[in-house]
Amino acid sequence: MNPDAKRFGHGTKFISVMDILNNQFIRYDNIRASVEVIAGDIETYGVNYGDILFQRSSETLEDVGQANVYLDSKPAVFGGFVIRGKSKGNYHPMFFRYLLASPTARKRIIVKGAGAQHFNIGQDGLSKVYLDIPSIQEQEKIAKLLECIDDRIATQNKIIDKLQSLIKGIAQNITCSNKPNVHISECLECSSSTLQESDVFEHGAYPVYGANGIVGYLDNYNTENEAVYIIKDGSGVGTVSYVTGKCSATGTLNILQAPNGYSLRYLYYLLKVFNFEPYKTGMAIPHIYFKDYGKAKIFCPLYSEQLKYATLLSTIDDKLSTEQDILKSLNLEKQYLLCQMFI
C-alpha cells in the first residue's frame, strides 16, 4: 500500500519498516503511523493476528528481511516496503518471531538479498528460505522461555532508565537550586592530545579513549589518576566521561582535570547536565572550545560538600554499572539460546 501524503495522519494504523525494527512485537497501539483507507484496502493490505511482517529493503545487506509479528485483534494495513506473511499452517506466532531473529535464519535470509547501493528481498526469495520447525508444543515451550527472558530484559532496561534519571535529576537539582558562583575555567584545567586513532594498537599496557570509548592501547599514557574526557567536535560534542588510572585520549577529546580544592567527580556530574548548546560553533561539524564554555559559571560548594555529592552520585553510578552488566548478561544468554535452539 503506497497512499499519497494527504491520507496520512488519521484512520487505520499503517505498519512501516520502523515498526518492524523498533518493537519486540507489533501491537495496534505501538504502530506509529495512521492512514485513511479506501474501499478494498483492508481486504488487500490488511494485517491480522499472527501475520509475519518482513522488511523488504535496506541500506545494508545485514538488515534486509528482518521480521516481526503482529499480535493484535484490530486489523492494520502495511506499507510498500513491507512484505506480509500469512499462515498456511499451524504455528506459534511468537516462536516464529524468535526463529526469524536467530543467527541461522538471518544467514539464510540475508543471502537471498540482492542489490548494490540498496538491498532488497522479494517474496520469491523468502519462499526459498528453508527452516527447521518443531511441533507446535515445542514452539510454545521455546516461545514462552524466550518471552520470559525478554520480559526480564525489559524490566532491566527500566531499572537502568530509572537510575540514569535519578543521577540526572540530582545533578539538575544541584544546578537549579543553587546560584552559580565559580567559572568553569577556575575549577577545571583543559588540555588536549595530538594522538590519532591510527596511532594506537590492538594490544598494549594502557587503554586509549576516543569519542566512542576505548579505541586501542599504547604502552605509554597522557593521563593518570583521574580525568574527565569531553568530546569537542562531531555529533557527540559535549558528551563527557569520567576515567581513572593511566590512560590516553585521542585528539577528538579534551582532557579536563581539577586543581586542589575541587572534586573532579563532582564537576563531572555537573558537566553531564550542563547546557553546551550556546557554546557550539560550526555548521556541518559542531565544535566547542574550553575558552568559550570555560567562561560559564556553575555552582561549587565547599570542598567537603562537593565530596558528599560526588559520593552519593558515585554510589548510584556504581549501582547503574552493575545493572548494565546484568543487562549484558541477559542479552548474551538470549543470543546463546537463539544460537543453540535454532540450528
Cell of 116: 548494490
What value does the CA radius of gyration of the chain take, rounded to a whole number of Å? 26
Which of 55-59, 83-87, 324-328 is modeled with the greatest confidence? Answer: 324-328
Residue 116 has pLDDT above 80, yes or no: no
314 vs 320: CA distance, rounded Å: 9
Is residue 272 within 8 Å of residue 172, measured between CB atoms?
Answer: no
Mark whether 321 and 261 lie in a shared domain.
no
Burial of 184 (0-12, 13-18, 19+ CB in 10 A): buried
Is residue 253 within 8 Å of residue 234, measured between CB atoms?
Answer: no
Residue 1 has pLDDT above 90, yes or no: no
**pLDDT (0 to 100) of residue 179:** 95
227: nearest Cα among 205, 249, 207, 201: 249
User: Which residue among 133, 161, 195 closes a domain?
Assistant: 133
- Domain of residue 145, residue span: 134-176+301-343
Half-sphere exposure of 5 (CA within 13 A, CB side): 0
Residue 4: band (very low, low, confident or very high) from pLDDT cuts 50, 70, 90: confident
232: nearest Cα among 274, 197, 186, 279: 279
Cell 570542598 sits on residue: 303
Mark whether 39 and 57 lie in a shared domain.
yes
128 vs 141: CA distance, rounded Å: 27
Q: What is the mean pLDDT of the segment spanning 18-22?
A: 93
Mark whether 63 and 85 lie in a shared domain.
yes
The pTM assigned to this predicted structure is 0.82
Please state, for a pLDDT cut of 90, what percent of the chain lies above it: 77
**pLDDT (0 to 100) of residue 174:** 96
| DSSP H/E element including 298 | strand 297-298
Mark whether 110 and 59 lie in a shared domain.
yes
Residue 3: band (very low, low, confident or very high) from pLDDT cuts 50, 70, 90: confident
DSSP reduced 3-state for 77: strand
Mark whether 263 and 236 lie in a shared domain.
yes
Cell 574550553 sits on residue: 290
Mark whether 146 and 192 lie in a shared domain.
no
Single-letter residue type at 156:
Q
Mark whether 160 and 244 lie in a shared domain.
no
Residue 123 has pLDDT above 80, yes or no: yes
**pLDDT (0 to 100) of residue 181:** 94
Q: What is the mean pLDDT of the segment spanning 284-305?
A: 95
252 vs 195: CA distance, rounded Å: 9
Cell of 284: 556541518
Residue 239 has pLDDT above 90, yes or no: yes
84 vs 336: CA distance, rounded Å: 28
The contacts of residue 157 (CB under 8 Å, 6+ apart) are 327
**pLDDT (0 to 100) of residue 109:** 92
Residue 163 has pLDDT above 90, yes or no: yes
180 vs 157: CA distance, rounded Å: 34
Burial of 186 (0-12, 13-18, 19+ CB in 10 A): middle
Q: What's the number of domains the chain is made of?
A: 3
pLDDT digits (tens, 9 = 90+) for 88-104: 888 999 999 999 999 99
Is residue 218 within 8 Å of residue 204, measured between CB atoms?
Answer: yes
Q: What is the mean pLDDT of the segment spanning 115-132?
A: 86
Task: List helix spans (H) across the chain.
Answer: 17-21, 41-45, 93-101, 103-110, 123-127, 136-177, 184-187, 264-272, 290-293, 303-341
CATH code, domain with 109:
3.90.220.20
**pLDDT (0 to 100) of residue 28:** 94
**pLDDT (0 to 100) of residue 88:** 86
User: Which residue among 268, 283, 300 closes a domain?
Assistant: 300
The percent helix, strand, coil of the chain (3-state, each to 5) is: 40, 25, 35
Q: What is the mean pLDDT of the segment spanning 54-59?
A: 90
Mark whether 63 and 122 lie in a shared domain.
yes
Mark whether 57 and 158 lie in a shared domain.
no
Q: What is the mean pLDDT of the segment spanning 50-66?
A: 90
Q: What is the mean pLDDT of the segment spanning 253-258?
A: 95
pLDDT digits (tens, 9 = 90+) for 177-236: 999 999 999 999 999 988 998 899 999 999 999 998 999 999 999 888 899 999 999 889
DSSP reduced 3-state for 31: coil
The separation between the first and the last C-alpha atoms of the chain, rounded to the nearest angstrom, is 35
Mark whether 31 and 62 lie in a shared domain.
yes
**pLDDT (0 to 100) of residue 61:** 84
Q: What is the mean pLDDT of the segment spanning 288-302?
A: 96
**pLDDT (0 to 100) of residue 221:** 92
CATH code, domain with 306:
1.10.287.1120
**pLDDT (0 to 100) of residue 83:** 93
Mark whether 214 and 202 lie in a shared domain.
yes
Residue 265: band (very low, low, confident or very high) from pLDDT cuts 50, 70, 90: very high
Mark whether 171 and 96 lie in a shared domain.
no
208: nearest Cα among 198, 194, 218: 218
Residue 58: band (very low, low, confident or very high) from pLDDT cuts 50, 70, 90: confident
pLDDT mean across residues, the chain: 93
